[in-house]
Chains A and B, each alone.
Chain A
């Protein structure tokens, strides 16, 4: 079985001084070492989901092999071990985000559920018709649709911050939208299409000056940069395990304790209660108030292992390695005639969306796939955004710390092949 370390194309520029031993790290990811259509896999779809190191897969598997029991309720040995590992994952998330307390960490299914939880709570308890929620033009559908549901059901008014042609928020327009009826600002930390890193600390400060709370969608941020929720001072922050090299099926909603206490429960059932009778039911304390039913215990333990792994590699080193890939890819893709990069913000994460003149992204994706390179094409669950840039869809390459410059060369060659075939 050929390994993905085989170089098929020589780099055109001299390699930068290595941030870490990426070949050694790639050994931790079994999935990377396979052939696709007869060529070594190049996995550039990390914004859709990330790959998992063996120790994450083992952690989840070990739960089922040795510690499988339900949590929080049992008095037997396995239940005790399972509960300890589950709650230990919560502590790891708290430290990852630098939250003040572990009870400010709620485990949910993913970022989408986290946003829906907050939207539902706001809608039921805190918003009246005519109240306003501010989002941005670059949001993922998961940070658009829940608020549209509030608009349709509660008469909430949705305001959208416009972006410039580079894919950055227009600050003056954002300030104009913060008004006396604004009840929440909900924005993404990093755009999954443009790669733009938003100035969420500055946005939060501006909103707080007017007593407006802020929710930050960190799905594309948490895997790639250090998040300090106390420093950001945001009221809610959410991310998904499966993007930060953990299993699917679990995600995190961070909320300041006062906010989590103010919101009503999202789902009712076991574990989120203190006592139940048909006359009166008392809800549990946070975060358990929001964790009804048996969670995805194995995946949560896997998430804990993923956070350990990321901490060992180091988010700072990850950031530098990915930034180098971003610059290298941007430079070489830009040299292809007829290629336009969508998303040219000054501050970007390692995501490159592009279009090729006269060639539809769907065709790019198919040809590139035949070369063993996995990219994503379409509107990436951000239809308003692709429409704003006047394109039906884009092709998107998104990098992680196990990708290499050599793999970028493979992508560039594949795009050139697409041009030759269909241009």
Chain B
């Protein structure tokens, strides 16, 4: 039986209450809007690239505890990472929250707290919304909308 405390871990509740990097980046080199019509989660992700590295990343928006915490922890995790590292973390995060195994949890850092999402399939899209939005921003697309099938990921990779 799925356990709520596995989903709403302390770290997640904290990042929901006090999201980090919850701001606009005025000199952003890219930004993208993400929207989940099924539940009303909205996020705008701002990126300032330093060459191949993510110099600054921040977000604005409104959504459920999972999507807010996910965005907050994403910004903490990805600052200073390269584009390739970010994309690799997306794959691993996606596998983590869908229960397909994410490799060594130690190398996931704070992202590992989302392992509980895999027990709540209806919340997977909440956790991945900001990551799909990030992928969009990296690809230069400005909009992502979650759909009933998983092809949102493919759309973002255009």
- Which residues of chain A have a CB within 8 Å of any CB of chain B? 37-38, 359-363, 366-367, 370, 377-379, 383, 386, 392-393, 421-422
Complex contact B64–A362 (CB within 8 A): yes
A392 and B63 form a contact (CB under 8 A): yes
Contact sample, A vs B, 19 pairs, CB 8 Å cutoff: A37-B1, A38-B1, A360-B39, A360-B40, A360-B63, A360-B65, A361-B40, A363-B8, A363-B65, A363-B66, A366-B122, A367-B4, A377-B39, A378-B38, A378-B39, A379-B40, A386-B40, A392-B42, A393-B40
Contact of A366 among B62, B63, B120 (CB under 8 A): B120
A370 and B62 CA atoms in complex are apart in Å by: 24
Q: Which residues of A contact B16 (CB under 8 A)?
A: 422
Q: Which of B2, B39, B120, B122 has the most CB of A within 10 A?
A: B39
> Residue B126 at the A interface, CB < 8 A?
yes
Nearest-neighbour CB distance to chain B for A369, whole angstroms, equals 9
Asked if B64 and A360 sit within 8 Å, CB to CB, the answer is: yes
Closest to B13 in A: A422
> Within the complex, what minimum Cβ distance (angstroms) separates A259 from chain B?
35
Which residues from A are CB-within-8-Å of B126? 362
Determine how close the nearest CB of chain B comes to the CB of A216; give it in whole angstroms. Answer: 28
The smallest beta-carbon distance between B3 and chain A, in angstroms, is 8
Docked CA distance A386–B37 (Å): 12
CA distance A392 to B67 in the complex (A): 13
- Residue numbers in A under 8 Å from B37 (CB-CB): 379, 383
In the complex, A392 Cα to B39 Cα: how many Å? 8
Q: How far is the CA of A362 from the CA of B64 in the complex (A)?
A: 6
User: Inside 8 A of B66's CB, which chain A residues have their CB?
Assistant: 362-363
Of the listed residues A363, A379, A383, the one surrounded by the most CB atoms of chain B closer than 10 A to its CB is: A363
> Which residues of A are found within 8 Å of B63, using beta-carbon distances?
360, 362, 392
**Docked pose: A64 CA to B43 CA in angstroms:** 50
The reply to whether B7 and A366 contact each other, CB–CB distance below 8 Å, is yes
Instruction: Enumerate chain B interface residues (CB-CB to A < 8 A).
Output: 1-2, 4, 7-8, 13, 16, 37-42, 62-66, 120, 122-123, 126
**15 further contact pairs, Cβ within 8 A, besides A362-B63, A363-B66:** A38-B1, A360-B62, A361-B39, A361-B40, A361-B64, A362-B64, A362-B66, A362-B123, A363-B64, A366-B7, A370-B2, A377-B39, A392-B41, A421-B8, A422-B8
Closest A residue to B4 by CB, please name it.
A370
What are the nearest 9 A-B pairs in CB distance?
A392-B40, A360-B64, A393-B40, A362-B64, A362-B39, A363-B65, A363-B64, A370-B4, A378-B39
Q: Tell me how far the C-beta of B67 lies from the nearest C-beta in chain A, rounded to whole angstroms.
A: 8
CB B42 to nearest CB in A, in angstroms, measures: 7
| Residues of B with C-beta under 8 A to A367 | 4
In the complex, which residues of chain B have a beta carbon less than 8 angstroms from the beta carbon of A379? 37, 40
Known contacts: A362-B126, A366-B122. The answer to whether A378 contacts B40 by CB under 8 A is yes
Chain A residues, Cβ within 8 Å of B39: 360-362, 377-378, 392-393
Q: Which residues of B contact A377 (CB under 8 A)?
A: 39
Collect the chain A residues with CB atoms within 8 Å of residue B62's CB. Answer: 360, 392
Which residues on B sit within 8 Å (CB–CB) of A366? 4, 7, 120, 122-123
Please give, as numbers and ranges, the residues of chain B lying within 8 Å of A360 by CB-CB distance: 39-41, 62-65
Q: How far is the CA of A393 from the CA of B39 in the complex (A)?
A: 7
Give A362 to B120 CA distance when docked, in angstroms. Answer: 12
A360→B12 CA distance, assembly (Å)? 14
Kindly list chain B residues whose C-beta atoms are within 8 Å of the C-beta of A361: 39-40, 64
For A422, the chain B residues whose CB sits under 8 A away are 8, 13, 16, 65
